[in-house]
Amino acid sequence: MDKPTIRNEKDGSVFEQAEGDTILRAALRAGLGLSYECNSGGCGGCKFELMNGEIETQWPGAPGLGERDRKRGRHLACQCRALGPVTIKAATAPEYQPRILPRRQRARLVGTRDITHDIREFRFRSESDARFLPGQFAMLDLPGLAASRAYSLSNTANEGREWHFQIRRVLHGQGSHVLFEKLVEGDEIGLDGPYGLAYLRTGSPRDIVCVAGGSGLAPMISIARGAAEAGLLNGRKLHFFYGARTPRDVCGESMLDALDHRDGQIVYIPVVSLPGDEGGWSGEIGYVHDAVARLLPTELANYEFYFAGPPPMTQALQEMLMIGHRVPFDQIHFDRFF
């Protein structure tokens, strides 16, 4: 069957959609900068208007589209496939153009390791290469699931073709159930990537701040590893905040200790919101965004910020940085885990 051709009226670009691809993935694979963020139906960043032709929607109830959008006939490019030639109207910008073109591969589970009681590292080896920027994510096609799931990389690009993920077990979550309960070493899955815009900016002269909430650990560890590999932690400081619910959820410090850095260049600050009554916790208490504002030693506009985690945490950080402290938008890079 011919591949459907998609024309974007907004910038005049024309691209083809390969079998199994959504309109968004087809555009990014063609190197085009169609606007997006989560690739998972949650953020609404990939909205488009259908001008002509026929499409199908794989998740009609996706939360990224509001009632008003639906009434106006808008759709999500990360959830729609063209059924024949179509014309769309979708926002594009150079910052969305992929620096590494995403591609589909098969990948085999080669190892796992528990990080906490509910976060586990999963290591996959792919067929051809592991090319991605620190902080990016991949879409995993897991056996028995109709839709793929987004997971951030925790390692950095490598010749060994390894893609490492740090994944939280979600109560009644279908994807995490397959990963934690069904997959065994040697099993194969589909892996498509890299995606994502919250990658390490090696050219920035500023000290780095990473803020991870819960399973937001993975991309922040990848950023820290990327910064160390680029030799940045000999001259610049890394302030790494980890926001956890309870003391037993705290993790990440041993991975940072292993990095190549000059003494004193990495500051690790765990913050828990529910310390418990036993009095065993002597660290920071409260919300992680408050700790960031309180504990960074100089003006917040002096730093390059990276953060990942649940939408309420990323929202609080965004507001605190942009409205409260006037940190320029191009110094703020984040992923919301829908």
Contacts with ligand FES, residue ranges (CB under 6 A): 36-39, 41-46, 64, 76, 78
Show the tokens assigned to 269. 């600050």
**Between 296 and 308, whose beta carbon lies closer to ligand FAD?**
308
Residue of 29, 75, 81, 149 that binds ligand FAD (CB under 6 A): 149
Minimum distance of ligand FAD from residue 307's CB (angstroms): 12
**Between 137 and 242, whose beta carbon lies closer to ligand FAD?**
137
Closest of 150, 77, 109 to residue 69, by C-alpha: 77
Which residues within the stretch 54-113 sit at the binding site for ligand FAD (CB under 6 A)? 58-59
Show the tokens assigned to 60. 């009609």
**Between 275 and 311, whose beta carbon lies closer to ligand FES?**
311
SS3 52: strand
Through-space distance between the first and last CA atoms of the chain, rounded to whole angstroms: 34
Show the tokens assigned to 329. 């938008």
Task: Decide if 101 contacts 84 (C-beta within 8 A).
Answer: no
**Between 49 and 229, whose beta carbon lies closer to ligand FES?**
49
Show the tokens assigned to 100. 């590494």
**Between 78 and 321, whose beta carbon lies closer to ligand FAD?**
78
User: Is residue 170 involved in binding ligand FAD (CB under 6 A)?
Assistant: yes
Residue of 176, 222, 265, 331 that binds ligand FAD (CB under 6 A): 176
Choose the one of ligand FES, ligand FAD, none that binds residue 76, judging by a C-beta under 5 to 8 angstroms depending on kind.
ligand FES
Residue of 151, 163, 287, 303 that binds ligand FAD (CB under 6 A): 151
Minimum distance of ligand FAD from residue 43's CB (angstroms): 8
Binding mask 103-142 for ligand FAD (x = CB under 6 A): ----------------------------------x-----
Angle at 129 between CA 193 and CA 147, to 5 degrees: 30
Name, in order, each residue with C-beta under 8 angstroms of 294's C-beta and a sequence gap of 6 or more: none
**Between 234 and 315, whose beta carbon lies closer to ligand FES?**
315
Minimum distance of ligand FAD from residue 264's CB (angstroms): 29
Sign of CA dihedral 117, 264, 327, 48: negative
Closest of 83, 119, 294 to residue 213, by C-alpha: 119
Give whole-number Cα distances, 6 to 18, 42, 186, 330, in Å.
11, 23, 38, 31
Closest of 64, 6, 5 to residue 37, by C-alpha: 64
Minimum distance of ligand FAD from residue 265's CB (angstroms): 25
Segment contacting ligand FAD (CB under 6 A): 89-97, 164-172, 273-281, 297-305? 164-172
**Between 22 and 126, whose beta carbon lies closer to ligand FES?**
22
* DSSP one-letter string for 192-224: EEEE-S----TT--SEEEEEEEGGGHHHHHHHH
Closest of 148, 83, 158 to residue 126, by C-alpha: 158
**Between 38 and 157, whose beta carbon lies closer to ligand FAD?**
38
Show the tokens assigned to 149. 């799931």
For ligand FAD, the binding residues (CB under 6 A) are 38, 40-42, 58-59, 137, 147, 149-152, 165-168, 170, 173-176, 215, 218, 335, 337-338
